[in-house]
Amino acid sequence: MKRYLVEPGSKIKLDKWDLEETEEFDGDKSDGRERLLELNNQLESLQELLYAENKHKLLVVLQAMDTGGKDGTIRRVFEGVNPLGVRVASFKVPTPEELSHDYLWRVHKQVPQKGEIVIFNRSHYEDVLVVRVHELVPESVWKKRFAQINDFERTLAEEGTTILKFFLHISLDEQNQRLQERLDDPNKQWKFNVGDLKERGLWSQYMQAYEDVLNKTSTDWAPWYIIPANRKWYRDLIVSNIIIETLKGLDMNYPAPKDDLSNIVII
């Protein structure tokens, strides 16, 4: 999975990525779906262990352009996982109360507690993406936020949070197809937002903003992964594998029972 890791200090260019690739899986879409079911079972077991041990915390950050697949990734990767220990936090347009605080205030309230997995569907990175592209704050303000975010994430990591950040990277043509599918399917039209077309017109500005995010905020304590996401099934496999391998690396164990159970007899 290291091929998708943005090495700290590296300089990546998003237009150099092959978004159709399936290099890490020897099979087709049907095989991929079967493999994902196996990974779901592994993740279910690891999440139960994480919850039971109650020592570690996992934060998963998902960022993507419109139609990039954040919701679909959450549904498929975490299918069957016990919702007791998994939570999704979605960050939309800030409320008046949120705007009256610093931009990280609403984010810090949503980070995971011990034993919990929290998935950010969009995140604090909107404050160096949307606000930059739409010029909602001056450049002198958003430029400072890269260092602030790195410090914020370092604090979380030093307090025991494992952080994984995924940019679900789709092409402009793939977004065109997905938007058209939403428009053509009556069951998907509720997802269609006319405002997405305006955002689509700012594609190059967003790509430049994302490159800065990936180059400046992929750190040892909170790495970014660029996931080729034109093929949904492959996207889900890669994200699942990275999360599972990360959880395995925590070397978790079930806690010992509070009482001596050796002489317990249930009648």
pLDDT band at 163 (very low <50, low <70, confident <90, very high): very high
Task: Please check whether residue 53 lies inside any domain of the structure.
Answer: yes
Query: Is residue 258 in some structural domain?
Result: no
Does residue 253 form part of some domain? no
How confident is the prediction for the chain on average, in pLDDT? Answer: 94
Which residue in 148, 89, 94 sits closest to 117, CA to CA?
89
Least confident of 140-144, 189-193, 217-221, 222-226: 189-193
- pTM confidence score: 0.94
Question: What tokens appear for 119 in the block?
Answer: 């998935």
Q: What type of residue is 262? A: S
| pLDDT computed for residue 157 by the predictor | 98
The answer to whether residue 265 sits within a structural domain is no
Residue 108 counted as domain residue: yes
Q: Determine, yes or no, domain membership for 121.
A: yes
Instruction: Work out the pLDDT band at 257, boundaries 50, 70, 90.
Output: confident
pLDDT in tens, 195-216: 888 899 999 999 999 999 999 9
Number of structural domains, the chain?
1
The CATH number for 35's domain is 3.40.50.300
What is the C-alpha to C-alpha distance for residues 36 and 241, in angstroms, rounded to an integer? 9
Q: Quick: pLDDT tens for 112-139.
A: 999 999 999 999 999 999 999 999 999 9
Determine the pLDDT at residue 93.
87
Are 182 and 188 in contact, with CB atoms under 8 Å apart? yes
Q: Is the pLDDT of residue 144 over 90?
A: yes
Angle made by CA atoms 6, 11, 17, in degrees to the nearest 5: 65
Which among 129, 133, 125 is positioned nearest to 152, based on CA atoms? 125
pLDDT value of position 264: 83
Maximal CA-CA distance, the chain: 71
Mean local confidence (pLDDT), 32-37: 91
Sign of CA dihedral 235, 23, 210, 10: positive
* Rounded Cα–Cα distance for residues 39 and 29 (Å): 15
Whether residue 41 lies inside any domain: the answer is yes
Q: What is the per-residue pLDDT for 165?
A: 98
Residue 267 placed within a domain: no
Residue 165 one-letter amino acid: K
- The winner for highest mean pLDDT among 90-94, 138-142, 191-195 is 138-142
Structure confidence at residue 67 (pLDDT): 94
Give the residue numbers spanning the domain of 27: 2-248
Nearest Cα to Cα of residue 14 among 167, 179, 177, 198: 167
Q: Which of 211, 207, 66, 205 has its CA nearest to residue 134?
A: 205
How far apart, in Å, are the Cα atoms of 59 and each of 94, 132, 165, 184, 213?
A: 21, 25, 8, 35, 18
- For residues 23-32, average pLDDT: 84
pLDDT at 27 over 80: no
